[in-house]
Structure 1
Amino acid sequence: MDHARQLVSSGSPLEPQIGFSRAVRKGAHVAVAGTAPLGDDGTTVGQGDVYAQTVRCLDIAQAALKAAGASLEDVVRTRIMLTDVTRWKEAARAHGERFAAVRPACTFIEVSRFIDPEWLVELELDAISD
């Protein structure tokens, strides 16, 4: 079994600045970093819309999983961080659309804010993929 460390970038300018990777694969384990609702142009997608922002976060995370040789079916844990946890059902709808059959362990967390105040949600994923 190869236990080399594989780093995946999403192209975010914050990755080299902060010193992180969008995802890291080590053996069968894949960890996807806190993923914000950024568009390809670096602006916030779905301003004011928790559902749209969650969909964007999931799109970015899913692409990172694929680049690391994993898929949504390999996800064992998700963490959804919201600036207003009373809006959890909006994020849950997007999560359920992707994970209804997979049903990973999932946690919703309220945070005071994110780096960009336009972000209403961020998420993290952990996967195990042989």
Structure 2
Amino acid sequence: MSTRTNIPGTSPYEPIIGLSRAVRIGDHVHISGTGPVGADDADIVQQTEQVLSIIAIALQKAGSSFEHVYRTRIYLTRAEDWEAVARIHGRLFSTIRPAVTTLIVSGFVNPTWLVEIDADAIIPS
């Protein structure tokens, strides 16, 4: 039986929604959709960098890292932002090359957010 570990973050939405920043089950880590908390009014580049920074912390707390990410999902409110986000994502994942899905959505819980990303990773042996 795999052990489950909930990994909290710092989002003010976690207690309201009843979510964990990440959940580790066995050797898998599932990162919740992560918005740019703390960079709410920043541009798309800064918001994306903030999101990935929050994800990096959650992966580290779970015992993993970007190197072990096998899937990401990128959610954008503006289609024209895809390339800026893709370039930042590409810098981190150019050699890892996880499976990626990019979606255009109508909005997020915080209406100033332009991007949200979730991820799945493994724990290295």
1:77/1:125 contact within 8 Å kept: yes
**1:23-44, CA deviations, whole angstroms, 9 ceiling, x for partnerless residues?**
00000110000000011xxx61
Q: Indicate the SS of the match to 2:120.
A: strand
- 4+ aligned runs moved over 2 Å, structure 1: none
1:9/1:21 contact within 8 Å kept: yes
2:4/2:26 contact within 8 Å kept: yes
Do structure 1's residue 31 and structure 2's residue 30 form an aligned pair?
A: yes
Aligned runs of 1:1-130 on 2, under 5 Å?
3-39=2-38, 44=40, 46=42, 49-130=43-124
Q: Indicate the SS of the match to 2:52.
A: helix
How far apart are the structure 2 equivalents of 1:64 and 1:80?
A: 17
TM-score, scaled relative to structure 2: 0.94
Amino acid at match of 1:44: D
| Deviation of 1:45 (Å) | 5.3
| Deviation of 1:13 (Å) | 2.1
Q: CA RMSD in A?
A: 1.3
**1:3-33, CA deviations, whole angstroms, 9 ceiling, x for partnerless residues?**
2111111122211111100000000110000
Larger displacement relative to structure 2 (16-25 or 3-12): 3-12
Amino acid at match of 1:56: Q
Gaps of 5+ in 1: none
Q: Indicate the SS of the match to 1:109.
A: strand
How many correspondences in the alignment? 124
How far apart are the structure 1 equivalents of 2:81 and 2:46?
A: 12
| Deviation of 1:94 (Å) | 1.0
